[in-house]
Amino acid sequence: MVSFNVANSNLDVEEALRVSEERLHLAKQAAGLGIFDYDIKRNIVYWDKQMRKFWGEPSESTISYEEFVARIHPEDRAARQEAIDCAMNPAGNGEYRAEYRVVNTANGAELWIAAMGQVYFEAGQANRLVGITRDVTEQKNIQKKLQTQRDEAESILKQQVAARTASAIAHELNQPLTAISAYSEVALHAIHNDDLDSGHLIRALEGCVEQAQRAGRSLHELLAFLQKGEVVTERLNLNEVIHDALSIVRNDGHGGFHVTLHLQQNLPAIRCNRTQVQKVLVNLLRNADEAMRAVDLPALTVSTKVQTMNEVNVALVIVQDNGPGLEPAVAKRIFEPFFTTKPTGIGMGLAISRTLIETNGGYLWLDPDTRPGAKFQFTLPFAS
C-alpha cells in the first residue's frame, strides 16, 4: 500500500516536471529566445534549435568554443570576450551581458544578438556559462535610424547657430562699416580738392576712428555675451539710457526726425545691462528713422512709465513713429531671424533686440493696433 503511494507520487512529480518543462519551452518559443550552455572545462558550447536558427546552422551537434567565436563578427569579438572574462572573474557576480553581430550562414543576413547569462563557479573556478540569446536586429536598426536623425538635427542646429552668430556679427558691423565708408569718401574728396580743407579731413578721419572703435567694442561685447551667456547688470536710470541712445542715433546720421519725449520723472532705477538696453533702443530708433524716410514730417515719440503687469510693477518704454506702420502679414514675422523687407537689411535687429530684452528680464512686442505708424513697447524690471 505504502509502495503504491510512493510510485503514485513519483508519477505526479514527473508529470508536474513535464508540464513545467513544456511551459518553459512554449514561453521560450513565444519570446524567440535561444539557449546556450558553455561547458568551460570541456571547451564545448551546447546550443538549442532557436539559437542554431539565428546562426543558420543546420547540424544539431555541439561546437567548440573557438568555432563558436569564429562565427561572431570580427569587430564585436573583443568587446564580447571582455564581457565573458569579466563574468568569469570569481570576484564578481558571474553576470554576463553582451551584444554582437553574427552572419547567418544559411541566408547571409547579418543579425544583432543580445546575450545574457550566468557563470557558475566550482571551487573558485568558472566551469559553466548558461544563458539566453535574442535577435535584436530590428531594435538596433531603429536605434541606428534615430541616431542618424539626431545627428542630422544636431548638424542643422549647429549650422543655424553658426548662421545666426554670423548674422549677429554682420548686424553689429553693418552700421559702422557704412559710416566708415561715408567718412572715407569725405576724406578722399577733401584730399582731392585743390584747396585742401584740413578741418574737414580731420573730422572725417576722426569719424572713421570713432566708428571703427565702436565696431570693435560692439563685437567684443557680443562675443563675451555669446561665450558667457550671462549678463552683468547694474542699477540704471532708464531715462538717461534713452537720452544716450538718441544721441548715438543722431551722431550716426539717423536723427532726421522730430522727437517728443514723455519720460516719467522720478522713474525708479531699473536693474539691467546698460549696453544691451542701449542697443535695443538704438535698433528701434534706427528702424523708426528708416520707416519714416518717406514721411514729410517724420515724428517720433518716446515714453517711459511705471506699468503693473501680472501684479508686478515694471518699467514700460514705448517707441512710436509716424511712418507707414506694418501690414499684418509683415508684423507677424518681424521677430523671426533674417526677416527683412529692406533691400540691404539683415533682418536680425528685432530678433536680437527681443533676445536682449528677455535676457534682461523683460518683454518686447509690437502694438498691433497703431497703423499708421509703428508702436514698439518693452518692459524691464525695477532694481528693488
Q: Rule CB under 6 A: is residue 340 a binding residue for ligand ADP?
A: yes
- Give CA–CA dist 50/36, Å, rounded: 10
Name which position in 339, 359, 361, 383 contacts ligand ADP (CB under 6 A): 339
* 196: Cβ contacts below 8 Å, ≥ 6 apart: 190
- Residue among 325 and 381 whose Cβ is closer to ligand ADP: 325
116 contacts 96 by C-beta, under 8 angstroms: yes
Q: Rule CB under 6 A: is residue 255 a binding residue for ligand ADP?
A: no
- Residue among 339 and 363 whose Cβ is closer to ligand ADP: 339
97 contacts 83 by C-beta, under 8 angstroms: yes
Beta carbon of residue 293, minimum distance to ligand ADP (angstroms, whole number): 11
* 40: Cβ contacts below 8 Å, ≥ 6 apart: 88, 126, 127, 128, 129
Q: Rule CB under 6 A: is residue 301 a binding residue for ligand ADP?
A: no
Name which position in 345, 363, 367, 381 contacts ligand ADP (CB under 6 A): 345
- Residue among 45 and 350 whose Cβ is closer to ligand ADP: 350
Beta carbon of residue 372, minimum distance to ligand ADP (angstroms, whole number): 10
Beta carbon of residue 239, minimum distance to ligand ADP (angstroms, whole number): 21
Closest to 72 (Cα-Cα) out of 145, 144, 133: 133
DSSP states along 24-61: HHHHHHHHT-EEEEEETTTTEEEE-HHHHHHHT----S
Beta carbon of residue 288, minimum distance to ligand ADP (angstroms, whole number): 4
257-286 binders of ligand ADP (CB under 6 A): 283
Name which position in 34, 131, 349, 362 contacts ligand ADP (CB under 6 A): 349
Beta carbon of residue 350, minimum distance to ligand ADP (angstroms, whole number): 3
Q: Rule CB under 6 A: is residue 94 a binding residue for ligand ADP?
A: no
Closest to 352 (Cα-Cα) out of 280, 271, 286: 280
- Give CA–CA dist 140/111, Å, rounded: 9
Name which position in 142, 342, 358, 368 contacts ligand ADP (CB under 6 A): 342
Beta carbon of residue 186, minimum distance to ligand ADP (angstroms, whole number): 25
* 109: Cβ contacts below 8 Å, ≥ 6 apart: 103
| DSSP letter (8 states) at residue 243 | H
CA dihedral 350, 351, 352, 356 (to 10 degrees): 90
- Residue among 347 and 381 whose Cβ is closer to ligand ADP: 347
Q: Rule CB under 6 A: is residue 288 a binding residue for ligand ADP?
A: yes
Report the b/e string of 117-145 with b at 16+ CB within 10 A.
bebeeeeeebebbebbbbbebeebeeeee
Write the Ramachandran bin of 338: left for phi over 0, alpha for psi from -120 to 50, otherwise beta: left
Which is it for the CA torsion 321, 327, 328, 333, positive or negative?
negative
Coil/strand/helix, residue 220: helix
350-379 binders of ligand ADP (CB under 6 A): 350-351, 374
Q: Rule CB under 6 A: is residue 334 a binding residue for ligand ADP?
A: yes
- Residue among 208 and 346 whose Cβ is closer to ligand ADP: 346
Name which position in 21, 330, 332, 365 contacts ligand ADP (CB under 6 A): 330
Beta carbon of residue 212, minimum distance to ligand ADP (angstroms, whole number): 22
Q: Rule CB under 6 A: is residue 321 a binding residue for ligand ADP?
A: yes
Stretch that binds ligand ADP, among 10-18, 189-197, 297-305, 342-350 (CB under 6 A): 342-350
- Residue among 50 and 355 whose Cβ is closer to ligand ADP: 355
**Residue ranges that bind ligand ADP, judged by CB under 6 A:** 283, 287-288, 291, 321, 323, 326, 330, 334, 339-342, 345-351, 374
